[in-house]
Amino acid sequence: MNGHRTPGPEPAWRDTTLTPEARADALIAAMTLREKTAQLVGVWVGADADGDEVAPHQTDMEPPPDLDTLLPYGLGQLTRPFGTAPVDPALGALSLLRTQQRIAAGNRFGIPALAHEECLAGFAAWGATAYPVPLSWGAAFNPELVRAMAAAIGRDLRAVGVHQGLAPVLDVVRDARWGRVEETIGEDPYLVATIATAYVQGLESAGIVATLKHFAGYSASRAGRNLAPVSMGPRERADVILPPFEMAVREGRPRSVMPAYTDTDGLPATADEALLTELLRENWGFTGTVVADYFGIAFLETLHGVAEDRSDAAAQALAAGVDVELPTVDAFGQPLADAVIKGTVPERLIDRALRRVLAQKAELGLLDPDWSPVPPALAGADLSDPAALRGLVDLDRPANRALAADLAEQAVVLLRNDGLLPLREPPRIALIGPNADEPTAVLGCYSFPVHVGGQHPGTSLGIELPTLREALAAEFPGSELRTVRGVTVDGGTAGTEEGAGIAEAVVAARRADVVVLALGDRAGLFGRGTSGEGCDAASLELPRRQRQLMEAVLDTGTPVVVTLLAGRPYALGRAVTEAAGIVQCFFPGEAGTAALAGVLSGRVNPSGRLPVSVPGHPGVQPSTYLGARLAQAGEVSSTDPTPAFGFGHGLGYGEFTWSDPEVRTGETGTDGEFRLAFRLRNTGDRAGTEVVQLYLHDPVATVVQPVQRLIGYRRIPLDAGAGCRVELTVPADLASFTGRDGRRIVEPGALELRISASSTDPRLTVPLRLTGPARPLDHTRRLHPEITVHDLPPAPGPSR
């Protein structure tokens, strides 16, 4: 159904032989001002549980709009039809289909809306696969697997009629107290860039518009407080915050970007023309749409105080380069139209944004003469009987679950092992802690059961979420398993009297052969959890009384394996030296407890690496491994930021040897490249994976540099006894940084390449030198080393 159609030849904007931009221009020429602004706004809706049309959602910010008033002029976007309330996916797709019919029929051009959803850890819909959170993507150090996961998410979104996904998050962690650390990929720009770019490539490969967020600097807010001001110089912004976005734009080709809520040095990102237009579009060449974070335009007036009313806020955002207001018509609706009528906003700025919006709709097929509202998942189905559709669409298929399991297993990080792990069917296991028997302990705050499901008590989770107790029972069927909660995640003890829960845990620990201590977070929103958006931490102490529980159990003398299902790293106190083992999981998704249990049993050989450092003390934030010399421990300060476990750290069940470094080119010009090689061999008795990490140290530079920074990495799986030759080509471009004049340069001088198992464990150190003049660079510079792996003959066995 294509709305009101005029008999005769198709208009130019329906002509699929024209470019999307030409079609957009033809449509703009035929539109009134009200029709133009209607395409620049969205409406927050919820799909109907019975398959009827969607209903506007009541938000905390404003009352729902009247669709009958809006739809005669058209509508730009539909906000989260699946992610607002629990609804069967097939009936949600039918509800969206019927709404799209109404939207297209309601405006004279027959233009449907673009539908977007959250997809940070999977499609945020009832019954959809809950994948590990982005911090686990970083822990896996595996862009290929993340790309495959994102493609699967994209296919599910596309199948039910969604066009745009609001992911990935490219914020680089600067302060682990920030509640949204779980949504990030890590504390290193190169790791964040490569993993996020892979996610973008996967989502876009499925035909879904990927949205980079939050552009730029949101994670650097003061004291790790959500939406606090950002104090950051232009060099930190250029060398730490922006590189992930730059790589994603260049190599991922995303079609949307979302500005951050925050202001940097007094300038809100939503009103920053230098950021959203000059850098993003004119410098980097981005051609997609810039969509405001929810209510972000209104915040220019209400939170930032840089706009006097909604019309002023709309004018500033539009001029800066924002194209679409989400999720409302609050500023880009009537207030923007009024500003044009008054002459305070030139209509050409609306046309500029509208051209991008309509060109994107043309790319998605929404302007085609044969457009149909029927999504692939409902093709061929009898739409006249909604009840018969229930259960037709499966968003948690076996292939999805297999991907979730692979990623969860590769993201488990073994931090410490005194030799107890893997466990060999211990007769008695005491499973103690607040996350011992909690199904949602594996989920982040943007997973549907947490983000939405918690507001609908009595509704089933929609997916299977085995608890750690269930996973351990399945993994160790011959062991006696006793479970004691001890304390809650976020307050007090689990006993009826003060201390009773901890006392019960101590008794259980003393009677066991080994304790599995299940600590960590509960995801939530705005203070309703210990991790998640608006759940910022005053320090990196374990939440509430978990440290007291841990110390009481350690005091029993029974071997203790500390496990963490968490959204951020925590200071682990005595466990760092006294626990028999420490296993870190960052909200690993629906397959997470099985992955964790598999590592404990040895079924899974752990290969995850820390994407964020684990602090040695709870009060040393902000602190990351990217610190300069003055950020390191020293006699001039009584606080020590040295981590307990540094970025990139992770153990496995086996040993690898690194040997025979060979420098083919150790000196090159500032426009050249270094060539090196070394040998890696698995000397253990089982197959395993090593993660080779390349760090660059620049001892003398014209501006202060971090002591080291990651410039490349590679997961290398090897069978027991197998070896390989790893060849490295490192472009001089990777030594670049932002110089004193604000331009990116490569300087001549000495360098040091650290071929490492982690940021704290260099295995081979190679001196290098750059020669020639300092060379300026731009966004076309080389971004990656080349890492080539060649198999070696098996190591000779003992002579006979």
Residue range 489-517: mean pLDDT, rounded: 83
Q: Distance between CA atoms of 317 and 675, rounded to whole angstroms?
A: 47
- 179: three-class secondary structure by DSSP: helix
Q: Could you tell me the pLDDT band of residue 55, with boundaries at 50, 70 and 90?
A: confident
Amino acid code (one letter) for 88: D
pLDDT value of residue 3: 45
Helix axes 546-554, 500-510, angle to 10 degrees: 30
Amino acid code (one letter) for 699: P
Backbone angles phi, psi at 417, to 5 degrees: -155, 115
What are the tens digits of pLDDT across the range 714-748? 999 999 999 999 999 999 999 999 999 999 999 99
Q: Identify the CA nearest to 760 among candidates 653, 662, 614.
A: 614
pLDDT value of residue 4: 47
CA distances from 148 to 119, 123, 200, 693 (A): 14, 14, 11, 22
CB distance 753 to 732 below 8 Å: no
Q: Identify the CA nearest to 651 among candidates 708, 695, 700, 602.
A: 602
CA distances from 87 to 65, 68, 81 (A): 22, 24, 9
528: left (phi over 0), alpha (psi -120 to 50) or beta: alpha
If 0-12 CB within 10 Å is exposed, 13-18 middle and 19+ buried, where does residue 117 land?
A: buried
Q: What is the DSSP letter of 44?
A: E
Q: Distance between CA atoms of 393 and 127, rounded to whole angstroms?
A: 9
Q: Distance between CA atoms of 213 and 487, rounded to whole angstroms?
A: 36
pLDDT value of residue 1: 40
Q: Could you tell me the pLDDT band of residue 800, with boundaries at 50, 70 and 90?
A: very low
What are the tens digits of pLDDT across the range 620-665? 888 899 998 888 888 888 888 999 999 999 999 999 999 999 999 9
Residue range 150-154: mean pLDDT, rounded: 98
Which of 282-286, 417-421, 524-528, 732-736 has the weakest average pLDDT?
A: 524-528
Tally Cβ neighbours within 10 Å of residue 630: 9
Which of 200-209, 454-463, 726-735 has the weakest average pLDDT?
A: 454-463
Q: Distance between CA atoms of 611 and 139, rounded to whole angstroms?
A: 5
Cα-based torsion angle of the residue sequence 250, 251, 253, 257 in order, rounded to the nearest 10 degrees: -60
pLDDT value of residue 762: 98
Amino acid code (one letter) for 412: V
| Torsional sign, CA 776, 782, 783, 786 | negative
Task: Give the list of residues 6+ apart from residue 82 with CB closer than 8 angstroms, or none.
Answer: 47, 89, 92, 96, 117, 123, 124, 125, 126, 160, 162
CB distance 31 to 73 below 8 Å: no
Q: What is the DSSP letter of 114?
A: E
- Of 480 and 628, the one with more pLDDT: 480
∠ CA 537-233-568, rounded to 5°: 25
pLDDT value of residue 7: 54
Q: Distance between CA atoms of 524 and 447, rounded to whole angstroms?
A: 10
| 614 DSSP β-pair partners | 645
What are the tens digits of pLDDT across the range 14-25? 999 999 999 999
Look over the chain and give the mean of its residue pLDDT values, rounded to a whole number: 95
Residue 699 has pLDDT above 60, yes or no: yes
Residue 495 has pLDDT above 60, yes or no: no
Q: Could you tell me the pLDDT band of residue 53, with boundaries at 50, 70 and 90?
A: confident
Residue 799 has pLDDT above 60, yes or no: no
| 673 DSSP β-pair partners | 731
If 0-12 CB within 10 Å is exposed, 13-18 middle and 19+ buried, where does residue 341 land?
A: exposed
Task: Give the list of residues 6+ apart from residue 291 with CB closer than 8 angstroms, or none.
Answer: 77, 116, 211, 256, 257, 258, 322, 323, 324, 326
Percent of the chain with pLDDT over 70: 97
Helix axes 143-159, 398-411, angle to 10 degrees: 150
Residue 5 has pLDDT above 60, yes or no: no
Q: Identify the CA nearest to 676 among candidates 750, 752, 782, 746.
A: 752
Q: Identify the CA nearest to 324 among candidates 170, 164, 460, 444.
A: 164
Residue 797 has pLDDT above 80, yes or no: no
- Tokens read off for 358: 């309509």
Residue 203 has pLDDT above 60, yes or no: yes
